[in-house]
Amino acid sequence: MLGNGIASTSGRSAAFRGAAPRAPARAPRAPAPAAAAAAARRARLAPPRAALGEAPLVPVMAKGEMSAYPDQPGVYAVYDAAGELQYIGLTRKVSASVANHMQALPELTHSVRCEVIADGGRDALTAAWKAWMEQAIADSGAVPPGNAPGETRWQGRPVRAKTEIKLTAGKAINVPIENLIDGVVKENRIVAFVKGTRSQPQCGFSYKMLQTLNDLKADYEVVNVLDDFHNPGLRDAIKSYSQWPTIPQLYVGGEFVGGADIVEQMLGTGELQLMLRKE
């Protein structure tokens, strides 16, 4: 039995002596780190979910609020009142960029399409912007005016909008609010008392008055009657001060001009334009 065993072993060795050993089966190779990184980058650079023409067209300051625009990174396209594309931009915060354009170029900022880019990195935003630009050029045969070489109104650093005037620092003071109103009206040439802020008016009439002042490029101040922390009691006090029952209210040169309807009428006759231009 021992001999048989040895012979068997010897024979097996002879059988494999002239053949190359078979390599063991290998598991599938994992992607190289560089390849995986490239694949991830291609995914990040994918075009936005909605094409330029598919993103909803939202009127600027819809319902008097900027909440129609996301506070997130994205690509956006601005249209004028005739529906002509004026500018395509990318931003870390869509709502802030739209507010800046409305402040700087109100006559060209009528409605906006936007698309949030979940990966708000530079590469993803640039790729989304490029996809929209290519589609815009293919559709019209030209670069949007605001993106043209040498154009600075849209592409330059936006001017920071003025903040609202606050009557108090949020602490109780022993000064009648009527005195504070009087000081603001007389120390500032053009003042609008409105519901809400300069960039986010909280009623349609306030929005309309601010839009009129923006269209006329007036250098004006804003006081928010809804800010009860800094302007306590102002909503009622301003009505008593002017003897006018509604808000918004416009003051020029220390004098009460009127509410939204009167301002609109004066705009139509040209009287408002002349008043605002006076030194």
Q: What is the CATH number of the domain that holds 260?
A: 3.40.30.10
Instruction: Compute the distance between CA of residue 47 and CA of residue 155 in angstroms, rounded to an integer.
Output: 22
Q: Write out the residue range of the structural domain in which residue 221 sits.
A: 177-277
249-252 and 74-79 beta bridge pairing: unpaired
Indicate the residue among 132, 147, 162 that finishes a domain.
Answer: 147
Task: Assess whether 141 and 199 both reside in one domain.
Answer: no
Long-range contacts of 122-127 (CB under 8 A, 24+ apart): 123/41, 123/44, 123/45, 124/44, 124/45, 125/73, 125/74, 125/75, 125/90, 125/91, 126/90, 127/44, 127/45, 127/46, 127/47
Strands 74-79 and 85-91: antiparallel
Do 130 and 216 belong to one domain? no
CATH of the domain at 117: 3.40.1440.10
pLDDT tens digit at each of 279 positions of the chain: 333 333 333 343 333 334 444 545 555 455 455 555 544 444 444 444 567 878 888 887 654 456 778 888 999 999 999 999 999 999 988 888 888 888 788 889 999 999 999 877 888 899 999 999 999 999 999 999 999 888 888 875 544 567 899 999 887 778 899 999 999 999 999 999 999 998 889 999 999 999 899 888 899 999 999 999 999 999 999 999 999 999 999 999 999 999 999 999 999 998 999 899 865
Q: How many domains does the chain have?
A: 2
Same domain, 120 and 196: no
Instruction: Please check whether residues 104 and 142 belong to one and the same domain.
Output: yes
Q: Quickly tell me which residue has 């009460």 as its tokens.
A: 256
Are residues 272 and 208 part of one domain?
yes
Evaluate whether residue 88 is within a structural domain: yes
At 178 the pLDDT is 94
Q: In terms of domains, do 128 and 209 share one?
A: no
In angstroms, the CA 93 to CA 111 distance is 17
Statement to judge: residues 128 and 86 lie in one domain:
yes
Tokens describing residue 183 = 């000081």
Position 260 in a domain: yes
> Do residues 193 and 247 share a domain?
yes
Task: Specify if 160 maps to a domain.
Answer: no
Same domain, 129 and 214: no
- Residue 108 inside a domain? The answer is yes
The pTM assigned to this predicted structure is 0.50
| Structural domain includes residue 90 | yes
Say if 261 falls within a structural domain.
yes
165 falls within a domain: no
Instruction: Tell me, yes or no, whether 181 and 137 share the same domain.
Output: no
In a domain, 168, yes or no: no
Regarding whether 181 and 272 lie in a shared domain, the answer is yes
